[in-house]
Amino acid sequence: MVALPEPPMPNIPSEPPIYILIAIVATMATVAEKSLSTQPYRVELIQLSQLSRFADYGGSLLFVPAGRWLTGSFNLTSHFTLFLHRDAVLLASQEESDYEVIEPLPSYGRGRDTDGGRFISLLFGSNLTDVVITGENGTIDGQGEPWWGKFKRGELKYTRPYLIEIMHSDGIQISNLTFLNSPSWHIHPVYSSNIVIQGLTILAPVTVPNTDGINPDSCTNTRIEDCHIVSGDDCIAVKSGWDQYGINYGMPTKQLLIRRLTCISPDSAVIALGSEMSGGIEDVRAEDIVAINSESGIRIKTAIGRGGYVKDVYVRGMTMQTMKYVFWMTGSYGSHPDEHYDPNALPVIQNINYQDMVAENVTMPAQLAGITGDQFTGICISNVTITLSKKPKKVLWNCTDVSGYTSGVTPEPCQLLPEKQPGTVVPCNFPESSIPIDEVKLQRCYSRRRLM
């Protein structure tokens, strides 16, 4: 880093203006493939920690102009806006040396790819307040191909970096950007609250695993809307910690709103709940979802040893085309962080509601498998029409260790989910009240005024 000179502080009137610091982010790269260490002309990344001094003067803004800019990982700061011009492309370095190795998340106990630590994300922040990451649909490209190859060949000592990870923070907004080719997950808010994610395009090869789109993890009051995601893994995966580590950390994901999502994920789910759900997942509301050529619409993944719960889930207004499954629940998603998980820690899955859905070209409507002695209960499926593919499975609804009811569903569901009132469509019980994040307005720039 090059130490920047102290900028002069503005004269502060009774109503101070927003003080805006404009800078180029990252290392200039006319050839994207060059590494940071070999650039003949280097523009050092501004020390974002210096921007925190402007919090009392309205906040700070870092503007990325048109061009292709190569960068390693950098830390965000509070009361801050990162804004990308429509023709700006941030290119993530492909060099491991440009990513600090940090500790595993305490609710996971280890990295997701390997034991031990993990590479810090491209954009990282912890203990932040009021951060806006936005633009005019500029691009952040993770250039993940070398990472995917190293992971497949077992050459990595640490877990791959994400594009964005924000921890222990409040008031985070990410909007109007395109994210490409993350080494692993694209967007990962964790241990945070009051999050708005809107208007994102997220694209990764459908053949590459673990390139999840958006993964809210032990977060409260989150809104995800108007996003288009193509992924080799779950488009949205809701999480809250892994086995004994998640149980001990004890921070659920709750008050999550997802709407107007379009997803393509041939080998995974449109919306997955779990499998790392040991801190609990509750009050998830999803509506107006479009799924195309995806493995499953809604998938609940858990296992013996997870503990925790998934409850009060409400999904409606979903349109699906070319699906392997519409509904998928499994209690045998058996990966564990280590051998110290508690086999007596059983998950609770209850009050799961699906309504007003249409699916075409479906191989199997439902694969619903709870845990023997630990039923998944309170399942409601109402007003759902499923049209089968030319070669459907012989068993259309495979149900074990689940209970609940259906109403107005075709083809006819399994006996464990009987018709509630034949001849009448009985809706599921959806909440009438809103959640607080629905009242939060999207910001294009963080700003505030200090009272004198």
Query: Would you write out the chain's pLDDT as a tens digit for each of its 452 residues?
Result: 333 334 343 333 333 333 333 343 333 333 334 455 444 333 344 455 566 666 666 788 899 999 999 999 999 999 999 999 999 999 999 999 999 999 999 999 999 999 999 999 999 999 999 999 999 999 999 999 999 999 999 999 999 999 999 999 999 999 999 999 999 999 999 999 999 999 999 999 999 999 999 999 999 999 999 999 999 999 999 999 999 999 999 999 999 999 999 999 999 999 999 999 999 999 999 999 999 999 999 999 999 999 999 999 999 999 999 999 999 999 999 899 999 999 999 999 999 999 999 999 999 999 999 999 999 999 999 999 999 999 999 999 999 999 999 999 999 999 999 999 999 999 999 999 999 999 999 998 866 554 43
233 has catalytic annotation: yes
Q: Rounded to whole angstroms, how far apart are CA atoms 383 and 377?
A: 19
Q: Could you please report the per-residue DSSP string of 207-276?
A: TSTT--SB--BS-EEEEEEEEEEE-SS-SEEEB-B-HHHHHHH---EEEEEEEEEEEE-TTSEEEEE-SS
Per-residue pLDDT at 447: 62
Cis link prior to 411 (omega < 30° from 0)? yes
pLDDT value for 59: 81
| Rounded Cα gap, residues 73 and 140, in angstroms | 12
**Catalytic-labelled residue, pool 141, 212, 233, 356:** 233
pLDDT at 22: 38
- DSSP label of 448: -
Asked if 82 and 62 touch (Cβ cutoff 8 Å), the reply is yes
- Tokens encoding 172: 């985070």
Distances, alpha carbon 98 to alpha carbons 114, 125, 165, 369, in Å: 19, 16, 16, 44
pLDDT given at position 337:
97
pLDDT of amino acid 25: 38
**How many residues are there in the chain?**
452
Q: What is the dihedral of CA 293, 294, 298, 300, to 10 degrees?
A: 170
**Residue 164 phi/psi, 5° resolution?**
-130, 130
Measured in degrees and rounded to the nearest 5, phi and psi for residue 362 equal -105, 135
Structure tokens at 421: 């009132």
DSSP three-state, residue 182: coil
- Type and span of the H or E element at 350: strand 348-369
pLDDT in tens, 310-336: 999 999 999 999 999 999 999 999 899
Q: Is the dihedral of CA 45, 47, 48, 51 positive or negative?
A: negative
Q: Is 51 within 8 Å of 60 (Cβ atoms)?
A: yes
**The Cα angle at residue 307 between residues 305 and 313, in degrees rounded to 5:** 130
Nearest to 92 by CA among 159, 154, 25, 163: 163
> Taking a C-beta distance cutoff of 8 angstroms, is the pair 71, 45 a contact?
yes
Distance (Å, whole) CA 338 – CA 357? 39
120, 76 in Cβ contact below 8 A? no
pLDDT given at position 56? 65
pLDDT in tens, 152-195: 999 999 999 999 999 999 999 999 999 999 999 999 999 999 99
pTM for the structure as a whole: 0.91
- The reported pLDDT for the residue numbered 24 is 39
**Closest of 213, 205, 201, 204 to residue 237, by C-alpha:** 213
Predicted local distance difference test score (pLDDT) of residue 394: 97
Q: What DSSP string runs through 274-341?
A: -SSBTT-EEEEEEEEEEEEEEEEEEEEE-BTT--SEEEEEEEEEEEEEEEEEEEEEESB----SSTT-
